[in-house]
Amino acid sequence: MRCPKCSSTDDKVIDSRISKDGSTIRRRRECLDCSHRYTTNEQILRECLYVTKSDGRRENFDKLKITNSLRRACQKRPVEAEQINMLVEDMIDALENEHGIEIPTQAIGAKILLNLKQIDAIAYIRFASVYKDFRNLEEFLDEITALKQ
């Protein structure tokens, strides 16, 4: 690491802490030349993941798209941001293990619905109404009935 103050590469790690979800490590460092203290975060770099759309197109996987859609679905619900972040990380791990580097959009949507169903029923219905693209009230009611059972 380069010191942000003097650009020296000589430093020592003072403290290391693992995040709650275990995906990152926060390290507190001290420059051995100027004694400036700074913080770094480490996380595993994933192989470049791709999403295969239903029409056959491929796009780069964008974790932020999933996180934002989950935040919208969970808006004003008793679901914490950390819970959403952990859900996304666990989901990506599972999808990568199951499908490799090319993940079909259907698998992403199905995994999100499965996880949301366990966390919050209202958030599940919100996400399902967009993902499943309900055409009429009957389809919406069928989904709610299935959720009740």
**Domains of the chain by residue range:** 11-43, 50-148
pTM: 0.64
Q: Are 112 and 90 in contact (CB under 8 A)?
A: no
User: What is the phi-psi region of residue 133: left when phi exceeds 0, alpha when psi lies from -120 to 50, beta otherwise?
Assistant: left
| Ordered per-residue pLDDT tens for the chain, 149 residues | 889 999 999 999 999 988 776 778 999 999 999 999 999 988 776 678 899 998 989 999 988 999 999 999 999 999 888 888 888 888 988 998 999 889 999 999 999 989 888 888 889 888 888 877 777 788 778 878 887 77
Give the pLDDT of residue 46. 67
Task: Give the pLDDT of residue 125.
Answer: 87
CA distance 31 to 16: 15
